[in-house]
Structure 1
Amino acid sequence: MIQSALIKKQRIIICILLALIILTIVVGMGMGYASLSYDRLIPTLFGQGTFKEEFILFSIRLPRIIITLLAGMALALSGAILQGVTRNDLADPGILGINSGAGVAVAIFFLFFPVSADSFVYLIPLLAFIGALFTAVLIYGLSYKKEAGLQPVKLVLIGVGCSMALSGVMIVLISSAERAKVDFIAKWLAGNIWGDDWPFILALLPWLITLIPFTLYKAHRLNLLGLSEPVAVGVGMSVEKERISLLLAAVALAASTVSVTGGISFIGLMAPHMAKALVGPRNQLFIPIALLLGGWFLLIADLIGRNIFDPNSIPAGIMVSLIGAPYFIYLLLKK
């Protein structure tokens, strides 16, 4: 039974985070290389702006803001699932190499196959999912022992090793590619949010609409998996079946996100940890907060990165890493 005081606290935090997200969105709509006056935002939103104002808002700013918010939410949820399933507080799709697997699949397709602009937007999340799934299966298989089950520490070590190996594969792939394609892959690796157009939102949105309710429905099972395998088996849960379905959800969320934002790490590590610190370890309570935290973190990172050295921008992935890497070291030392 969840205490009513804790539920009330969760709702207050959610309201605060929603207010912060709305404030950041409003600030982001007005800031950029081509500035948009804040007193013109509401008229422009309702179709009363000039051609330039509507172009800046609807073709440049809003798609990027929405895709950044959705991507941060998806990465946070993926990290929360991975931490629960693996019982490892350091689990994150970027650290475990899942993002790298998705990136290699996308790079192979982009560099060596003919690309159609119409199909590319919708094919790329599927290709990223295949690459990420292959990587996740490899890491899971190498860190699992029949007698001892899944080994959390070994999982992280193997994941980091796979991530480094896949980074090497990526370098080999781009070493003989065309200059224009190499530039795109380099920006992708840095976490540059390149899929900032409405079709990319439509490509990412179905994954979130499907997998957020699925994860919340499985929250109780995630709680049990986070305790231990004997406890989960003792209450009659099919551990491997639940673990595989949740891992597939985590991989799908990470892959679909990475396919449009590039290699962004640490969101999936930080957001669940901070949410747990606020309302405790129950997945029903902290997952909604982690979703909003992840979206807000990536919004802030992209906003700062786009405007700190105007007109040159710093990729959101680098901005997140500047905060996330020290946080990862802190957790590593603490755990």
Structure 2
Amino acid sequence: MLFFVPGNAFVWLLPAGSLGAAATLLVILIAAGRGGFSPHRMLLAGMALSTAFTMLLMMLQASGDPRMAQILTWMSGSTYSATPEMALRSGVVMLALLALAPLCRRWLTILPLGGEAARAVGMALTPSRIGLLLLAASLTATATLTIGPLSFVGLMAPHIARMLGFRRTMPHMVISGLTGGMLLVFADWCGRMMMFPYQIPAGLLSTFIGAPYFIYLLRKQSR
């Protein structure tokens, strides 16, 4: 939106992000739909889209446009541009979406057992996978619009919650959310204090701090 809207483009983030998330989800559904929305096809579709968007970003960087500085700040996962109004709007949307999560408990419990087990208990695979994908995409898009992509926090928090012993569906979801929030707050605090008055983006610092610990946990689990 920085390239199409004059002035403060961040007021358009929520509608533009919603449309972008819907378009991305539509492409993934079309690409993975032929295989019954199998995890492998969805992973390949996501990797293809990520590569395409990365190339687009590199082209914009090569253009030398000064507005790219704002995009790079957002993509690094920085809380610098987040305002109370943005946080309030995102919080309201996320609370409404999180209220739907308990309704998906049965899907989240049975789907990890595999497609055959899900069919055996009478679960419709395609609608359940689409529903979960829509909910996850909406939650991810809402959080990303406020701070930026924090993919490593989203990857690490569920694994840490599982390694702590929370394996049942709802406790695992709750602890994963709390763990991710604590990781973000800790990374943001460290980023503000380490090089004060300059700020290190929380997304970059969370990756720097969390990656060694995540590798240690994986090695400990494999023993």
- TM class, shorter-length: 0.7 to 0.9
Deviation at residue 301 of structure 1 after TM alignment:
0.6
Q: CA deviation at 1:329?
A: 11
| Structure 1 residues 216-246: Cα deviation after superposition (integer angstroms, max 9, x where no partner) | 2211221111111222222222222221121
Residues 305 and 315, structure 1, Cα contact 8 Å, conserved in 2: yes
TM-score where L is the length of structure 2: 0.85
Equivalent pairs counted in the alignment come to: 219
Cα deviation 1:105-162 (Å, max 9, x = unaligned) = xxxx221223557xx43x312321322332233334434544xx34434543443342
Structure 1 outlier segments of 4+, above 4 Å: 328-331
Partner residue, 1:171: 58
**In the alignment, structure 1 residue 286 sits paired with structure 2 residue 179:** no
- Does residue 134 of structure 1 match 2:23? yes
Aligned residue type for 1:138: V
1:41-190 → structure 2 map (5 Å cutoff): 109-115=1-7, 120-121=10-11, 123-146=12-35, 149-176=36-63, 178-179=65-66, 181-190=67-76
8 A contact 1:275–1:290 mirrored in 2: yes
Is the 1:276–1:286 contact (alpha carbons within 8 Å) kept by the matching residues of 2? yes
Deviations 1:278-327, CA, capped at 9 Å, x for gaps: 23432122111111101100000111011111111110010122245553
Say whether 1:296 aligns with 2:182: yes
Separation (CA, whole Å) in 2 of partners of 1:140 and 1:250: 14
What is the distance in 2 between the residues matched to 1:214 and 1:202? 19
SS in 1 for 2:164: helix
Deviations 1:16-64 (A, max 9, x none): xxxxxxxxxxxxxxxxxxxxxxxxxxxxxxxxxxxxxxxxxxxxxxxxx
Instruction: Tell whether the 8 Å contact from 2:60 to 2:68 is kept in structure 1 after alignment.
Output: no
Partners of 2:166 and 2:175 within 8 A in 1? no
Q: Aligned letter for 1:124?
A: L
Q: Which residue of 1 aligns with 2:104?
A: 218
* Structure 2 unaligned spans of 5+: none
Cα 1:292/1:214, change in 2 over 3 Å: same
Task: Using CA pairs under 8 Å that are at least 6 residues apart, name the structure with larger relative contact order, 1 or 2.
Answer: 1
What SS does the corresponding residue of 2:196 show, helix, strand or coil?
A: coil
Aligned CA distance change for structure 1 residues 269 and 328 (closer, same or farther; 3 Å): farther
Post-superposition offset of 1:174 = 4.5
Amino acid at match of 2:57: M
Matched, 1:233 2:119: yes
How is 1:270-281 mapped onto 2 (pairs within 5 angstroms)?
270-281=156-167
Q: Decide whether the 8 Å contact of 1:143 with 1:158 is kept in 2.
A: yes
**Alpha carbons 1:194, 1:260 under 8 Å: kept:** no
Taking a change above 3 Å as real, the CA distance of residues 125 and 324 of structure 1, as seen in their structure-2 partners, is farther
Structure 1 residues 322, 144: CA separation in 2 closer, same or farther (over 3 Å shift)? farther
What amino acid sits opposite 1:190 in the alignment? S
The answer (yes or no) to whether the contact 1:111–1:177 under 8 Å persists in 2 is: no
Q: Is the Cα contact below 8 Å between 1:126 and 1:256 reproduced in 2?
A: no
TM-score of the superposed pair, with normalisation by structure 1:
0.58
Judged with a 3 Å threshold, the aligned counterparts in structure 2 of structure 1 residues 328 and 242 are, in CA distance, closer, same or farther, namely farther
Q: Which amino acid aligns with 2:128?
A: E
In the alignment, what sits opposite 2:133? Answer: 247
Separation of aligned partners in 2, 1:114 and 1:268: 33
Structure 1: runs of 5 or more not aligned: 1-108
